[in-house]
Chain A
Amino acid sequence: MTAPFPTHRQEEWRYADLEALQPVWDQFAEPVTLTVGAGQELEEVWLATTDDVQLRRVRLALGEGASARLFALNTAPVYGRIELEVSLEKDADFELFAANIGTGVSTNEIVTNVRHVGEGGRSRQVVRSVLNGQAVGSYLGKVEVARGAQQTDGEQSVKAMLLDRGATANCKPELEIYADDVKCAHGASVGELDAVQLFYAESRGLDPASARALLLEGFVMSLWDSASDGGAIGEASREALRRVV
């Protein structure tokens, strides 16, 4: 049995392109469950496909002292959604590095719910969006810290770059904390390229278009620095950026 079709009234589906999703819902509705046992490590790189609509729904359970590091590129031509439900037991470590690169009238979104269940867990989510035309890029990220999850260290860093007036970025980091000795940092910014960086690059001989492309590449590529093999996702994001700049 598939899950009921979502509506915009559900907060986590608020910005979704439900019209695009409707015809393919049945294939995606059931989340994939990944379990990382105590002390185990997981690293995954999620590349985008060329399908118009791409949906990834993942439940990730991290056992005691387990660690998971995910690298995701979200750049669907029509609608892309990466949805993650993560639970962390004691001393578990979760990292997500993800990019929305959107062009035209596409909608790409990253929706996470990270639950710190045990104490001493650490989660870090870094999301960068680059959007042109009328593209929409969203990050809706909730971090929950359960009553007993003391010494949790949670971080959300969300930045979006809008290249055209018609593009939209939604950034919504959300915290729900029931423990009293935790650290949860979050930052969100939406902006344009830095004028001083642009001038610096141009003063070295780069024409304005190349300077912009280089800065945007830097904005996105730093996400993959800690990947053990960032080659494929690096190349894929360069290619996606070429479509956007």
Chain B
Amino acid sequence: MLNISNLHATVADKPILKGVSLDVPAGEVHAIMGPNGSGKSTLAYVLAGRPGYEVSEGSATFEGRDLLAMAPHERAAAGLFLGFQYPVEIPGVSYLQFLRESLNSQRRSRGESDLSGGDFIKFAREQAGLLGMDAEMLKRPVNVGFSGGEKKRAEMVQMGIMNPKFAVLDETDSGLDIDALKAVGAGINRIMRAPDKGVLLITHYQRLLDYVQPDRVHVLRAGRIERSGGPELALSLEREGYAEAAAS
């Protein structure tokens, strides 16, 4: 589904990714763990096409299509979703308007018709409810005045509304209390656990993986995948730390 091969990327001329290779087949959840500065967020941004994150070598394909040749909005329409580590505030634009325009823009580029205002509001309320978010918050400007946890929950509501084929979730668990963590974990399973979908879960900690069982765990270090393994790898990392795990 998502195939990354020998990916090199630079940010402000500084090499960050130095040959990442990774395959996530449909139906699987892969976790990427690694110390600060190892390139986890850079990988997420490169996959979503953030300007300033330059690919210098290698390839990334999504369902056989060259992901790197597509503009960010085309990647979204193709079914890729990035859950932001730091969701962005947009004053003056309500969540409802933001999401409705985004979703309809995706639908149009897939040759589907627009969702009407009434249908969209109903759908958005339902998705917010499933994640335990007060639907009234959707009337507020995008992320403005939201707490850290509310922003992350809202990212998952967005994911529910967009219903992507593949989600790259960049530290969606950071800043969450235990109840929010459970809700977000359940949301990821509900929205993304399907035979034709995939997830790349970027996280520092084991705790989200208690709720979202990964099929594979990869350790990213200094811009490369250093180790890969089953779910037990995350547990041993949690116990021993990245330095120990690398040595063993």
- Chain A residues engaging chain B, CB cutoff 8 angstroms: 195-197, 199-208, 210-211, 214-215, 217-222, 225
Known contacts A199-B51, A218-B93: A205-B88 contact under CB 8 Å: no
Query: B50: which A residues are within 8 A, CB to CB?
Result: 199, 203
**Complex CA distance for A218 and B144, rounded to whole angstroms:** 12
Known contacts A206-B101, A207-B73: A196-B162 contact under CB 8 Å: no
Q: How far is the CB of A47 from chain B (nearest CB, A)?
A: 19
Query: A220: which B residues are within 8 A, CB to CB?
Result: 92
Q: Annotate B82-110 by CB proximity to A: 1 below 8 A, 0 otherwise.
A: 10100111111100011101110110010
Q: Annotate B31-56 by CB proximity to A: 1 below 8 A, 0 otherwise.
A: 00000000000000000111110000
9 contacts between A and B (CB under 8 A): A197-B88, A201-B90, A202-B49, A202-B76, A203-B49, A203-B72, A204-B102, A206-B73, A207-B105
**Does residue B71 face the partner (Cβ distance < 8 Å to A)?**
yes
Query: A202: which B residues are within 8 A, CB to CB?
Result: 49, 71-73, 76
**Complex CA distance for A237 and B30, rounded to whole angstroms:** 47
The answer to whether B84 touches A200 (Cβ under 8 A) is yes
**Does residue B77 face the partner (Cβ distance < 8 Å to A)?**
yes
Query: B89: which A residues are within 8 A, CB to CB?
Result: 197
**Complex CA distance for A211 and B49, rounded to whole angstroms:** 15
The answer to whether A222 touches B162 (Cβ under 8 A) is no
The answer to whether A195 touches B51 (Cβ under 8 A) is yes
Q: Which of B143-201 contact A (CB under 8 A)?
A: 158, 162
The answer to whether B76 touches A204 (Cβ under 8 A) is yes
A207: nearest residue on chain B (CB-CB)?
B73
The answer to whether A204 touches B91 (Cβ under 8 A) is no
**Does residue B141 face the partner (Cβ distance < 8 Å to A)?**
yes
The answer to whether A210 touches B101 (Cβ under 8 A) is yes
Query: A217: which B residues are within 8 A, CB to CB?
Result: 92-93
Known contacts A206-B73, A210-B101: A200-B90 contact under CB 8 Å: yes
Known contacts A195-B51, A200-B84, A214-B98: A205-B91 contact under CB 8 Å: no
**Complex CA distance for A207 and B88, rounded to whole angstroms:** 17
The answer to whether A203 touches B141 (Cβ under 8 A) is no
- Chain B residues engaging chain A, CB cutoff 8 angstroms: 48-52, 71-73, 75-77, 82, 84, 87-93, 97-99, 101-103, 105-106, 109, 141, 158, 162
- Picked from B88, B101, B109, B141, the residue with its CB within 8 Å of the CB of A196 is B88
B52: nearest residue on chain A (CB-CB)?
A195
**Complex CA distance for A202 and B73, rounded to whole angstroms:** 5
Q: How far is the CB of A139 from chain B (nearest CB, A)?
A: 18
**Complex CA distance for A145 and B169, rounded to whole angstroms:** 53
Shortest 10 CB-CB distances between A and B: which pairs? A218-B92, A222-B92, A205-B106, A218-B93, A204-B102, A205-B76, A200-B88, A202-B72, A205-B102, A202-B73
Query: B87: which A residues are within 8 A, CB to CB?
Result: 200
Query: B93: which A residues are within 8 A, CB to CB?
Result: 214-215, 217-218, 221
Q: How far is the CB of B65 from chain A (nearest CB, A)?
A: 16
Besides A200-B84, A225-B92, 17 more A-B contacts (Cβ < 8 Å) are A195-B52, A197-B89, A199-B50, A200-B90, A201-B102, A203-B48, A203-B72, A203-B84, A205-B73, A206-B73, A214-B90, A215-B93, A217-B93, A218-B141, A219-B92, A221-B92, A221-B93
Query: B52: which A residues are within 8 A, CB to CB?
Result: 195
B89: nearest residue on chain A (CB-CB)?
A197
Known contacts A214-B93, A218-B91: A203-B105 contact under CB 8 Å: no
**Complex CA distance for A8 and B48, rounded to whole angstroms:** 51
**Complex CA distance for A195 and B162, rounded to whole angstroms:** 22
**Complex CA distance for A202 and B87, rounded to whole angstroms:** 13
Query: A208: which B residues are within 8 A, CB to CB?
Result: 71, 73
**Complex CA distance for A199 and B50, rounded to whole angstroms:** 6
B143: nearest residue on chain A (CB-CB)?
A200
Query: B51: which A residues are within 8 A, CB to CB?
Result: 195, 199
The answer to whether A205 touches B82 (Cβ under 8 A) is no
The answer to whether A210 touches B105 (Cβ under 8 A) is yes
